[in-house]
Structure 1
Amino acid sequence: MLVAVISEGQSMEATIVLPVGVRDLLPRDLPACTWSGSALHLREVERALARAAAGEADYLAVCTPADLPVAIGGVDYQVSEGAGTLWQLAVLPALQSRGLGTLLIRAAEQRILRRGLHRAELGVEEDNPRARALYERLGYEAYGRTPDGWDEEGPDGVIRRYETMCVLMRKDL
C-alpha cells in the first residue's frame, strides 16, 4: 500500500508497506548484500554459506517481494555444544528499527529448535547498545564477556585487525 499526501510548498511523506519473507541466503544473493560489509566480509559470508551447505550452520535472509535480501545472519552449530550461536546479524541500514532484525532472530531461533536444540547464544559488542537492547527485548540475558576480533578491510583496501569486547548472551528456547 502506498499512501501519499502532497500539498504545494510542503514536504512529501509516504508510508509503504511491503511483505517480506525469510529463506536461506544463497551464493547468488551476495552481490545484493554489499550493504552488509566490505568485500572481505562478503568472502567470510561466502565461506559461511559453504558451511551451511555442509550442515554446520544455517544462513538466513529476510527478503523483499523482489527477492532482495534486506537482513542477513547466521546460526553456527559448531561453537557451543547444545546451542545455536547467532552471528553476522545485519540489517540494511535504511531499514533498521523496522522489525526486520526481530524477524531474522525469530527465524534463526526456529532453525535452532528444528535441530533439537533449546538454547540460542550470541555475542554483542559492548559499544552497541541498540543491538543489546533488541536482544534483551527478545529475552536474551547476559552471562559473561569475552574479547573478540576479526579482520576488516578499510576504504583504502588495507586489511586491519579490529579488536572489541563482547557481552555474551543466551536464551532458552
Structure 2
Amino acid sequence: MNFSLGAEVDYLTADGEQIHIRPLVDSDLEALEWEGEFKHFHNLYAQHYASSLQGATLIWVAETREKKIVGQVFILLNSKQSDVADGKSRAYLFSFRIRPQWRNLGIGGYLLNFVENELASKGFIWLRLNVAKDNPHARRMYEKHGYKVIGSDPGDWSYQDDKGVIQHVKEPAWKMIKRLR
C-alpha cells in the first residue's frame, strides 16, 4: 500500500514561535544530522528517505520560520514483522525527536497528534513504537497521549554508519501501542 506524503500544518507555540510541519525533502537530509550529533545515521536517513519516495515510509519535519529543523518523525508502514507494521491497519513510529532547546513547548505532542490523525485518515487503526527503557520522560509523554506498554524489546539492531561501518546497537525498549480509531 503506497501513500503520498503531502500533508502540512503550522503550529504556534505558547511563546509565539511558528513551527511548520511538512514532509521531508532531499535537501533536508543533512539537517537531520543536527550539526553532526546524528551524522552516524546519514546512510540510514538516506535509505528511509528513498523508501518514502516509494510510499513505504512517511517522514515529517518540524521547522522554524528561519527554516531550522527542530523536530522529526518517521513512520514505517510495512515491516517483515506484521506485529510492528502491516501496511494496512498497523504502522510503526520511530526516530521521533525534538531538539532539546525546543522541548516542552508542545511541539512533540502536536507533531504526534498530527501523525496519528494522518494515519487514521488513511485507514490505520494502530500505531506502534518502541521507547528506550532509559528514557522515562519520553515514555511518560507517550502514556499521556494514550499509548500503553505491551511488552519489552531487547532493542538489538544494526545499521551502516556514515563511514560504511556496520554498527550494532543494544537499546532495551518498551513496546507501546495506541488505537487510533
| TM-score tier after normalising by the smaller chain length | 0.7 to 0.9
SS in 2 for 1:40: helix
Question: In the alignment, what sits opposite 1:165?
Answer: 172
Query: Which residue pairs with 1:26 in the alignment?
Result: 25
Partner Cα distance (1:88, 1:42) in 2: 13
Give 1:116's aligned amino acid. G
How far residue 16 of structure 1 moved from its aligned partner, in angstroms, is 5.0
Tell me, in whole angstroms, the C-alpha distance in 2 between the residues paired with 1:124 and 1:62: 20
Q: Which residue of 2 aligns with 1:9?
A: none
Gap regions ≥5 residues in structure 2? 1-13, 80-84
State the alpha-carbon separation in 2 of the partners of residues 152 and 98 from structure 1.
32
The answer to whether the 8 A contact 1:71-1:91 is kept is yes
Query: Which residue number corresponds to residue 62 of structure 2?
Result: 62
> Please, which runs of 5 or more residues in structure 1 have no aligned partner?
1-14
Contact 2:32 2:38 in 1 (8 A): no
> Residues 97 and 153 (structure 1 numbering): CA distance in 2 closer, same or farther, change over 3 Å?
farther
Question: Superposed, which structure 2 residues align to 1:63-102 within 5 Å?
Answer: 63-79=63-79, 80-81=85-86, 82-102=89-109
Tell me if structure 2 keeps the 8 A contact 1:86–1:108.
no
- For residues 1-173 of structure 1, the aligned pairs below 5 Å read 17-35=16-34, 37-79=37-79, 80-81=85-86, 82-151=89-158, 160-173=167-180
Match of 1:5 in 2: none
Residues 17 and 146 of structure 1, relative CA distance in 2, 3 Å threshold: same
- The CA deviation at 1:152 is 7.3
Counterpart-to-counterpart distance in 1, 2:167 and 2:50:
25
- TM-superposed deviation, 1:153: 8.8
Structure 2 distance, partners of 1:93, 1:27, is 24
Q: Normalising by structure 1, report the TM-score.
A: 0.81
CA distance in 1, matches of 2:150, 2:135: 17
More strand by share: 1
How has the CA–CA distance of structure 1 residues 128 and 48 changed in structure 2, closer, same or farther, with 3 Å as cutoff?
same
Deviating beyond 4 angstroms after TM superposition, the runs of 4 or more aligned structure 1 residues are: 151-154, 157-160
1:83·1:112 contact (CA, 8 Å) conserved in 2? no
Q: Is the 8 A contact 1:40 1:152 kept in 2?
A: no
